[in-house]
Amino acid sequence: MPKLPTFQAEGSVSQLAGTTSNVQVPLTQTLGTALKPVTDFVVKQKIKETDFQNKTEALKLENEFVTEMTKVYDEANILDNKDIAQSIVKEKSNVLISKFADRATNTNVKTLFTNNALSEVQKGIFRTNTAVSKNILTSLTNRVQDKEGKLLANAFLAEGDFDYAVLATDLEKLYADNFKGLISNAKYNEIVNSIPSTIELFEARKGITDNPKETLINLKDSEKFKAIPLDERFKLIDDAKRTLRQPVIDDFNNFIAAANRGKKIEFDIGFAKEVLDIDTYNAYATKYKIATETVADAAVLNSIPLKDLTTTLDSMIKGKYNKYGEVDAQAFETNLKKITSNRLEEMKNDPVKFLAGTNDTISEMIEDIRLSDGEIKTQKQLELTNLLHETQKKMGSPDYEIKVVSKNEAISFVETYMKADEGERIALLEDAENRFGDFFSKAMNEYSAQGLPITAEFSSFFGNPNLTKKFLSFDSEDERKKLDKVLINNDTSITKIRESIFDNLAEFRKAVVFGNRFDTSAAADKLDRMEVVLSYYAASEIFVTGNVNKAITNASSLIKDNFDIKETFFVPRIYNGETLNQGQIDFVVDKSKKVLNYLDEWGMQSFGSTKEDDQRVLDEEMKEQIKESGRWVNNTDGTGIIFGIIMGDGSFAPLINKDNETLEIMFDDDSLLVPNTDIIFNQITKRKKKRGT
């Protein structure tokens, strides 16, 4: 048998061993058996990663669930009913658990999330239970406090003493029924023991609102409010002072203002010291002293004739320096001068308001009118108007500065008028005419100054119902637009009509400008507005007749035919709603010439110095000025004419006499007397006095 070939290994056994794997597989093991340790390692690693993955997903779901549940807890935690709160948590947590569990990718994640979510819900239920318990106590406390407040209020507000007599018992029962067993005995006893203090605290706080002055006095009395703890008493005293501070300051200011108007009103200076801080009190105390010392002087300064004002003021100031030291006297002097200055300014700007604050009779009449109605009210208003005029006259106000209505009242009338319809406006004007009587023209001027339409003033002048209705219709924008179209259809315009009327009234315009030297801009403005009304009146005539020229003539004639126009003034042919006959008009014109011969007897005062050694020269200069620049012009309220001098700057200076009276002739004056005297034309007497004295 042949031999099998043999192969000789190159290298040693040890070398071969180094090149082989360390894994030695016994002949008894299979390959699968040999790889099992590796497989077990990989499987365990996979299981562990899956577990982490499931936990991560479950935790993510849990975090989102907890965030959503926060809203649920917020809703439940504010309730004061545990059943409702727990029901909300249970129902909404179950919904949310199902919502997030359905998003789990496998059963393990779902189970893990659900278990964790339920655990969180259990903790949430405990927190909600605690929160609701607090809410229940808070809600109960609030309701107890509400009931407590009602019991206290009834005790102090109800008629009779029954509620107050049982107040302590009612409060004790209220606390027992609601707090006993719910709070600690120590806390409960503290509440019950504080009942007297609770009652007095309520009384004191209510008193600070209702009667702070009396309450402050009682709080500072150790025999009052004994149950209130000392620290609470001090707080209440501070509260009362804060409440009283501004009213006391207001009362202080009212006292000083009243004193400067000559009025004595009650004021507790001692109590003011209790309320105000020391610096504020000291400042007001000084003013109080001055006002107290000058109140009687103020009453005199606010009522004496204007001609006596300066000498009276000087005499008062001199008396203060004789009686007091330099510092006090200077303070009194300053205050007296301020009182005088205020009188002059207020009597010029709003005399009715000033008199209402300084004249007891007038202020009482105003209040009486406020409480009246019907015909009695109208009669009292007329009496007040006459008293206002008479008082201002006695105080030396020139007639052109006399007012019969306050600015606020005039503003109120205009506001009411502007809101009224045509019929209501006519009624308002009729009522005003009844109220003001002979001084209706003055009232209309004062209303016009506050914006009353010129149509109203025009209507009151003519006193013609048909004209009144037509004039008032021009206040309507629709009516004006309709008339504008009428003019266009007749180949003209409101501007052209107005230009024609302007030319026709040149003579009247000149007299009006002279007649309002006190305020030429106001006169020009009023005349412009009159021309607008006349233009629309012409338009209404054109609408009826279609004759433009005739309509312009008729409109212009409303002025030209109803005024006797002189060079520097005019006399109306209609006065206070009645026609003046030509004889009366001629009489006014004739009288205006004759009274100038009696200026010395009338008591004319020359402009400038009144020193005795200058007087003769001044009188001569004055007479020369009268010859050159003296003019009769219409007074500002349309009741007559006034004499004065046109100054170099174009202003008008009314002539005055020694009694500070102006030289005026009223349109209805039919006497042969020089104004404000008993001097008869052409029959001069030595005795001179006021009419009616």
- The predicted-structure confidence for 186-235, as pLDDT tens digits, reads as follows 888 878 888 888 888 888 888 899 899 999 999 988 888 888 999 999 99
- At residue 4, the pLDDT reads 40
Q: Spell out the domain ranges in the chain.
A: 52-193, 583-666
Distance in angstroms between the alpha carbons of the first and the last residue of the chain: 190
Q: Which residue has the higher pLDDT, 488 or 441?
A: 488
pLDDT-derived band at 553, boundaries 50, 70, 90: very high
Distance CA 261, CA 10 (A): 144
Q: Is the pLDDT of residue 307 over 60?
A: yes
Write phi, then psi, for 667 (nearest 5 degrees): -65, -25
Q: Which residue has the higher pLDDT, 481 or 635?
A: 481
Collapsed DSSP state (helix, strand, coil) of residue 223: coil
CA distances from 665 to 592, 597, 668, 684 (A): 7, 15, 8, 19
- At residue 591, the pLDDT reads 92
Q: Is the pLDDT of residue 486 over 70?
A: yes
666 bridge partner residues: 640
Q: Which residue has the higher pLDDT, 685 or 160?
A: 160
- At residue 422, the pLDDT reads 86
Q: Which residue has the higher pLDDT, 675 or 521?
A: 675
pLDDT-derived band at 46, boundaries 50, 70, 90: low
CA distances from 404 to 135, 359, 386, 399, 409 (A): 69, 15, 8, 11, 10
The letter for the amino acid at 227 is A
| Least confident among 20-34, 57-71, 475-489 | 20-34
- At residue 137, the pLDDT reads 73
- Mean pLDDT score, 250-269: 91
Q: Is the pLDDT of residue 617 over 90?
A: no
- As given in the structure block, the two tokens for residue 299 are 């009453």
Q: Is the pLDDT of residue 44 over 80?
A: no
Q: Which residue has the higher pLDDT, 178 or 369?
A: 369
Distance CA 220, CA 233 (A): 8
Compute the mean pLDDT over every residue in the chain, rounded to the nearest whole number. 84
Q: How many residues does the chain have?
A: 693
pLDDT-derived band at 485, boundaries 50, 70, 90: very high
Distance CA 469, CA 531 (A): 18
- Mean pLDDT score, 578-590: 90
- At residue 2, the pLDDT reads 42
pLDDT-derived band at 108, boundaries 50, 70, 90: confident
Answer positive or negative: Cα dihedral of 21, 24, 30, 36. Answer: negative
Distance CA 344, CA 397 (A): 10
Distance of CA 101 to the CA centre of its chain: 66
CA distances from 419 to 17, 413, 480, 529 (A): 126, 10, 18, 20
- What percent of the chain lies above the pLDDT cut of 90? 32
Pick the closest to residue 182 from 135, 127, 126, 137 (CA basis).
137
Distance CA 207, CA 213 (A): 9
Q: Is the pLDDT of residue 521 over 70?
A: no
Strands 640-646 and 630-634: antiparallel
| Least confident among 41-50, 361-370, 458-467, 588-597 | 41-50
- At residue 180, the pLDDT reads 79
Answer positive or negative: Cα dihedral of 132, 136, 137, 143. Answer: positive
- The top-scoring range by mean pLDDT among 338-347, 593-602, 644-653 is 338-347
Specify whether the CB–CB gap between 454 and 526 falls below 8 A.
yes
Contacts 24+ apart (CB under 8 A), 587-590: 587/670, 588/640, 588/641, 588/665, 588/667, 588/669, 589/564
Q: Is the pLDDT of residue 149 over 50?
A: yes
Q: Is the pLDDT of residue 58 over 70?
A: yes
The letter for the amino acid at 479 is E
- At residue 649, the pLDDT reads 75
| Least confident among 103-107, 165-169, 207-211, 606-610 | 606-610
Distance CA 651, CA 487 (A): 40
Q: Which residue has the higher pLDDT, 190 or 308?
A: 308
Distance CA 423, CA 416 (A): 13
Give the other-Cβ count within 10 Å of 328's Cβ: 16
- At residue 510, the pLDDT reads 81
* Beta-strand runs (E) in 78-203: none
CA distances from 564 to 99, 161, 441, 571, 586 (A): 102, 81, 18, 5, 9
- At residue 527, the pLDDT reads 81
pLDDT-derived band at 12, boundaries 50, 70, 90: very low
- At residue 299, the pLDDT reads 95
Q: Is the pLDDT of residue 386 over 70?
A: yes
- Mean pLDDT score, 257-282: 90
Q: Is the pLDDT of residue 25 over 80?
A: no
Write phi, then psi, for 643 (nearest 5 degrees): -105, 140
- At residue 18, the pLDDT reads 47
Q: Is the pLDDT of residue 43 over 90?
A: no
Q: Which residue has the higher pLDDT, 679 or 141?
A: 679
Distance CA 144, CA 163 (A): 18
| Least confident among 72-81, 149-158, 233-242 | 149-158
Torsion of CA 438, 513, 403, 439, to 10 degrees: 10
